[in-house]
A and B are shown apart, each in its own frame.
Chain A
Amino acid sequence: MSSIERFANPTRFMRLQTTVQPWVWIITFALFGVGLFLGLTRAPADYQQGETVRIMYVHVPAAWSALMVYTVMAVASIIGIVFRHPLADIAAKAAAPIGAAFCFLALATGSLWGKPMWGTWWVWDARLTSMFVLLLLYLGYMAIWQAIDDPRRASRIAAIVAIVGFINVPIVKFSVDWWYSLHQPASVFRTDGPTIHPSILTPLLVMGLAYSFLFLALHLVAIRSEIGARRIRQTELARTGALQ
């Protein structure tokens, strides 16, 4: 049995989660503390955007996280379909509301940044539209789980949606390069290195890490809840069967 299969066992996962959860929370709060301190007090205002640039420290990590969480969902869905392991489906399902919240925050804070800088709350350009499509994919994925009672059938259909919808992730990333957009091109993850000064880049990366650990912390709790919810369902089904 491979180590992945060993840890993919729900009972082992519950034991591991109990051990690592407090440490994940400590790291999450520490990263948020350092990131916000650097971003709000140490990083300089931008020479063109002024203080408005500080929206970047909550907007960009939210957008990165929305893409990362969808990637996690797509990978978990592939594992769920190929290996039929229920923990993969549970992980994908538990990630969706967290990813949807990150995606909504990326759109909302982007809109709040766009109004003073571009003079508009919203434009239907490639980056904004593809990000909006990502939010719809998250909501559609969650709606499938809500609409179908049988978890096995729901997991199969939801996994297909997650895998097919993954095509949107590179579209979001490269939309600013492929099409004309009000949105600026990539300035951190570039083949020739970041174009941002370290005084701004450092808090941005710390906040990115903080969002990633927040996702991990919430995801671990959500997976545990979903495992518990399935145990409740199995117990109640067994009880119903015993009564009949």
Chain B
Amino acid sequence: MDFSAPHMGFVISSYAITFFVLGALALWIFARARSVTRRLKQLDDEGARRRRTSGQTET
């Protein structure tokens, strides 16, 4: 790749925004996963049980 070619700023910006957005998306998804896991563990430690209704599929 020739970094002195015309319009290289547009190419670099495209890759930068792609990695920034995908990285931020991954971080957000992992942060939510960690927060949910922590809360579930907390509830489990407290001995809480889920509410079930008849015929409800387990989620």
Contacts and interface: CB of A to CB of B under 8 A. Distances in A.
Interface of A: 9-11, 40-41, 45, 50-52, 54-55, 58-59, 62, 85-87, 90, 97-98, 101, 104-105, 108-109, 112-113, 115-116, 214, 218, 221-222, 224-225, 227-232, 234-239, 241
A225 B36 contact: yes
B14 A109 contact: yes
B21 A52 contact: no
Interface in B1-30: 1-2, 5-8, 10-11, 13-15, 17-18, 21-22, 25-26, 28-30
Contacts of B21: 101, 104-105, 108
A54 B30 CA distance: 30
Chain B, interface SS category = helix
A208 B10 CA distance: 21
B57 interface: yes
B56 to A, nearest CB: 9
Contacts of A40: 1
Main DSSP-derived SS at the A contact region: helix
Contacts of B48: 235-236, 238-239
Interface of B: 1-2, 5-8, 10-11, 13-15, 17-18, 21-22, 25-26, 28-30, 32-33, 36-37, 39-40, 43, 48-52, 57-59
30 contacts: A9-B58, A10-B58, A40-B1, A45-B1, A50-B5, A51-B2, A51-B6, A51-B7, A51-B8, A52-B10, A55-B11, A55-B14, A85-B57, A97-B29, A101-B25, A104-B21, A105-B21, A108-B21, A218-B25, A221-B30, A224-B33, A228-B33, A228-B39, A229-B36, A230-B59, A234-B59, A236-B43, A236-B48, A238-B48, A238-B49
